[in-house]
Structure 1
Amino acid sequence: MSEGKHNGKVISFINMKGGVGKTTLTKEIGFRLANSLNYKVLLIDIDPQINLTQSIFKRFGFAQSKDLANKSNIEENSDNNLKITEASIQNVLEGNISLSNPTDLDKAIFNIPNTNLSIIPGEFGLEFLTRNLNSSNLENGIYNFIDDNNLKDQFDYILIDCPPTYSSYTIAALKPSNYYVVPVKPEAYSMLGVDMLEKVVDETKKTNKVYFKDKDLKNLGIIITNVKAKEKEKPGILNLINDIENSRILKENGIRVFKNHFLHNSSLQSDMSYLIDTSNAEKYSKPNLVKLTEEFVSYTREDTK
């Protein structure tokens, strides 16, 4: 593991449209950064669907409770070996209420043994569990937790998996972020979610100026997802991709499109514990992830804010 201060970047993976590969990109880029590139990486799951948490926990054999583990089929038949962690995004958000009783790191961050990867796990039913928190507590929770614990000095990358809807959780993710990445599938009306997102980001920056006084919040770029390697040259797909790359919304907002698309891989849908970086997908997926992650890293190094 790398030592010393890391000058970490906080990056939200977000789109106002669901089903675009947001969680998969967060997991796959985050794991490659930690596993093969030796960066210290913290994943934060603030999507109430907790798919990122379930995937990471199933891969490494952990859970937040035996009940949830069994529902997720994690070590379903080996309760004696089940490893439970109390770490949770709920503790981060609730710990923001009291300055005199902040959340302990081990109740928020779970460090996966023998890796450079850590996670603040999502919480199933988060909307219900945090119903008594006011919007200020929710929206400031992650920012304050990162700042209070100097997490940017401890991690190279802090990647946040956001919900696909506008809510206090969206604001909570954007406030501490230096960048946001927008996954987009090549389909009709795909840019509507991007247009709405840009308006959300503008409004967030205008109404929370103090949080962006010493840092900017920049769109790192659009990543076109779910492109099938054998179909990427077909006229229909090419036209859809061309429509995205030449979209008025992108031109008006100066938003780039990543040169590398994220290729479709059926194993990502069929196996929750699957990770491209440790797979044998040498023909398409692994080389694709290598190039995409290199491009991702290069864009985060364009400035030092």
Structure 2
Amino acid sequence: MAYIISTINLKGGVGKTTTTVALAEFLSAEFHKRVLVIDLDPQTNLTTVFIGEERWKQLNDKDRTLSTLFKDALRPEEEEPRFDITTALQRRVSPIDEVRRVDLLPSSLDLIDVQDRLATMSPGRFYSNNPTDLLRKAVKPIIDDYDYVLVDCPPNLGIVTLNGLRISDGYIIPTIPDVLSTYGIPQIQQRVRAFADGLGETITEIGIVVTKFRKASTVHTNTVRRLKDDPQLPAVLSSYVPEANQIAASAEHVAAGTLRQKYGYQGQHDILRALTEEFISLVEEKV
């Protein structure tokens, strides 16, 4: 069975997508895992990192993104659904040669408009339709093909995010160690816990991933200490992703032979590998 983990933060620009991409690529290349990445964020950054803007536009024009899945729920019941998991699923998407098995369910800008309308979807026959259950039903035929599924959630707690959490065993919170980026962590915890309780299930707190870390910053070091000392917060993973130009540049769709070429030779690769190894250990321990 796959381990399904969501990445979430209520603030944008905190390295959430970069963290998800790095984990997916290192899980595949360094730890030989079969990985599926599900992009639920309407900004589509994760999608374009893996397949580029041109290929994304082709898929979007052909209704082969996750927005089509959610749009189907808003169509009259007599209309045939347009979403097809077999054509939407993009296989072996990373532009890095040594990353052999990362597949993708791509996002779309159209998710911005769809999300607010999902609460009005038809209840369906025998009231079988639930707006937070759409993704679970769609991915059920393919989910067991993978060791890890990473779900990149939007920076909110709306219905699309709840679809990601609905299929998840746990979640991580990537964050810059400053006040604004960490402010919403308790709210995430409370909302996820309440949602899981309503389902009668458990969605485990895997941990906080510190991103864009500046060792020389007093704010950053003090914030990390505060996060680690607060018993009410999830555990802080011990590998802090540094603020580095090459890691920032990794958000571009650029071909490379190896992960060292992509992420950098000045320790960035080793930190991200260590982060992934710790991530695997925590997931397998907690889930």
TM superposition score normalised by structure 1: 0.77
Q: Are the equivalent residues in 2 in contact too, given 1:139–1:171 (CA < 8 A)?
A: yes
Distance 1:198 1:236, change over 3 A: closer
Q: Does 1:279 align with 2:261?
A: yes
Q: In 2, Cα distance between the equivalents of 1:42 and 1:186?
A: 28
Distance 1:300 1:37, change over 3 A: same
Q: In 2, Cα distance between the equivalents of 1:150 and 1:236?
A: 44
Divergent runs of 4+, >6 A: none
SS in structure 2 at match of 1:279: helix
Per-residue deviation at 1:105?
2.5
Residue 263 of structure 1 corresponds to which residue in structure 2?
242
Q: Mark the runs of 5 or more structure 1 residues left unpaired by the alignment.
A: 1-6, 69-83
Residue 56 of structure 2 corresponds to which residue in structure 1?
63
Which of 26, 36, 43 is the aligned partner of 2:30?
A: 36
Residue 107 of structure 2 corresponds to which residue in structure 1?
122
TM superposition score normalised by structure 2: 0.82
Per-residue deviation at 1:29?
0.7
SS in structure 2 at match of 1:33: helix
CA deviations 1:214-244 (Å, max 9, x no partner) are xx2101001111013xxx1554432222122
Q: In 1, Cα distance between the equivalents of 2:66 and 2:248?
A: 25
Residue 198 of structure 1 corresponds to which residue in structure 2?
189
Residue 125 of structure 2 corresponds to which residue in structure 1?
none
SS in structure 1 at match of 2:14: coil
Distance 1:227 1:272, change over 3 A: same
Q: Are the equivalent residues in 2 in contact too, given 1:96–1:137 (CA < 8 A)?
A: no
Distance 1:34 1:200, change over 3 A: same
Aligned residue identity for 2:238: K
Per-residue deviation at 1:89?
0.8
Q: Mark the runs of 5 or more structure 2 residues left unpaired by the alignment.
A: 122-128
Distance 1:144 1:105, change over 3 A: same
Equivalences for residues 204-219 of structure 1 within 5 A = 204-209=195-200, 212=201, 216-219=202-205
Distance 1:112 1:150, change over 3 A: closer
Which of 225, 231, 235 is the aligned partner of 2:211?
A: 225
Which of 46, 50, 61 is the aligned partner of 1:52?
A: 46
Count of paired positions: 267
Residue 142 of structure 1 corresponds to which residue in structure 2?
135
Q: Are the equivalent residues in 1 in contact too, given 2:14–2:181 (CA < 8 A)?
A: no
Residue 67 of structure 2 corresponds to which residue in structure 1?
90
Per-residue deviation at 1:189?
4.2
SS in structure 1 at match of 2:64: coil
Q: Does 1:23 align with 2:17?
A: yes
Q: Are the equivalent residues in 2 in contact too, given 1:44–1:160 (CA < 8 A)?
A: yes
Aligned residue identity for 2:273: V
Q: Are the equivalent residues in 2 in contact too, given 1:163–1:170 (CA < 8 A)?
A: yes
CA deviations 1:264-283 (Å, max 9, x no partner) are 22134346125882526122
Equivalences for residues 104-115 of structure 1 within 5 A = 104-112=84-92, 115=100
Aligned residue identity for 1:260: S
Per-residue deviation at 1:300?
1.3
Q: CA RMSD in A?
A: 2.9
Distance 1:236 1:217, change over 3 A: closer
Aligned residue identity for 1:57: I
Per-residue deviation at 1:58?
2.0
Per-residue deviation at 1:96?
6.0
Q: In 1, Cα distance between the equivalents of 2:13 and 2:82?
A: 35
CA deviations 1:149-200 (Å, max 9, x no partner) are 151x200111010111121011111111001000121112443210110111
Aligned residue identity for 1:19: G
Q: In 2, Cα distance between the equivalents of 1:162 and 1:130?
A: 12
Q: In 1, Cα distance between the equivalents of 2:199 and 2:71?
A: 21
Residue 9 of structure 1 corresponds to which residue in structure 2?
3
Which of 140, 153, 165 is the aligned partner of 1:162?
A: 153
Q: In 2, Cα distance between the equivalents of 1:300 and 1:205?
A: 18
Aligned residue identity for 2:175: V
Which of 216, 227, 240 is the aligned partner of 2:223?
A: 240
